[in-house]
Copies of this chain bind each other. A is one copy, B any other.
């Protein structure tokens, strides 16, 4: 792996403050343009010019309302609210680019798989195979309450539902239309051969879907599956389904433990452990010299928004620090989320005395993820260390400021990584997201992926 190309996706969300609470107010930041199609088209062009693999768009279908037991702080600080449907801007970006991939986050908790499968097939057709589905199982109580449930169902049941949603989608994508079903025979006015279009006949616990898929086979059929599970149940889901796993970790050591675990479970599921690509979140603040980069970082920190940062932190971890003095050392409640947060903090900086104010500063740039600050050489050294020590494949690059962070990456980091043979000089012949993961020509799911089980049900299937 030592000299392989490092893959980069930009990490954004259809909202104002994504991972850097407060920095929307910094001069030059354009995140308030999130509701302007030009922002997204410009961003896509910028990313393609820098030869990013893709743009990864996060989503929550709810608001962070744990801090002070209210959504007020999130609304005031535009902390991931307002937030738009992430599927809508994709086609405008696809029309303006040729190579950039698009990772789209959609919850598998509240969707009818029959309609959801069509939505992703539409995206895959219109982008010519440049779409990935980041599967989330919505974790916010507020989302559940607004989407027909009295309260959040258990995490285990969310994953059970997700398993069935994904399974139905796989069936629709892989086992309904044979590859040669569409003949488009103008002379005989026959578009498709109905004997090669099959009903899936699904009757499960949560869904009944007897029919055929509404879409003909798209370039990838199944969009590339992303997932970001961290809990034991989440890891099992990710190891089973994810072609790319997205995570966040404080150190390469922590990350390596996670990576080894995911790959081990994937192996137990009968998959090639190395076929599961792993990306970690990172934020980069760079300039020509270390000194300039650190100065810029300090200046950025001065924009950090205490309330927005703690509203986000509370929403993600369930820990409301609003009643504490900003400089009071923390005692943690004992929950999975809290332990996870504590682990991040203590590992990220074990010598720091963690107070609400220190948490806000930590979260203030790059949210819960590591921030690399320095010259191109310094940052490239660190990127290589993360890749090699943690045995991962790439990064999802969060922004401190947008599009500034991505522009700085293109200007400073890309040439340095290219010199080291860790970044491509141009896109290769791949046209789909999956080919980026598995090489040119590999547009369809691998034989060891659970979706392939359904492909093999098709008459005349090769394997």
Contacts and interface: CB of A to CB of B under 8 A. Distances in A.
29 contacts: A24-B186, A25-B189, A37-B127, A62-B211, A71-B212, A75-B212, A77-B191, A82-B192, A84-B118, A84-B125, A84-B126, A84-B215, A88-B88, A88-B91, A88-B126, A89-B91, A89-B126, A91-B91, A92-B126, A95-B96, A110-B112, A114-B147, A142-B211, A145-B210, A145-B211, A146-B208, A148-B207, A189-B303, A189-B305
Contacts of A275: none
A286 interface: no
A260 interface: no
Given A91-B89, A190-B76, A191-B78, A146 B24 contact: no
Interface in A95-113: 95-96, 110, 112
Given A63-B214, A146-B114, A207-B148, A78 B24 contact: no
User: Among A110, A123, A145, A194, which residue has the most Cβ atoms of chain B within 10 A?
Assistant: A194
A41 B94 CA distance: 11
A150 B207 CA distance: 10
B209 A146 contact: yes
A66 B174 CA distance: 26
A308 B96 CA distance: 36
A17 B186 CA distance: 13
A221 to B, nearest CB: 13
Interface string A67-84: 000111101111001111
Q: How large is the interface on A (under 10, 10 to 19, 20 to 34, 35 or more residues)?
A: 35 or more
Contacts of A40: 91, 126
Interface string A17-56: 1000010110000001001111011000000000000000
Contacts of A186: 24-25
Contacts of A75: 191-192, 194, 197, 212
A119 interface: yes
Interface string A173-185: 0000000000010
A38 to B, nearest CB: 8
A163 to B, nearest CB: 17
A37 B192 CA distance: 21
A414 interface: no
A218 B96 CA distance: 24
Interface string A185-204: 01101111110010000000
Given A94-B92, A95-B41, A76 B122 contact: no
A393 interface: no
Given A25-B186, A92-B91, A189-B305, A115 B147 contact: yes
B95 A37 contact: yes
Contacts of A119: 85, 87-88
A432 interface: no
Contact of A63 (B37, B115, B184, B212): B212
A137 interface: no
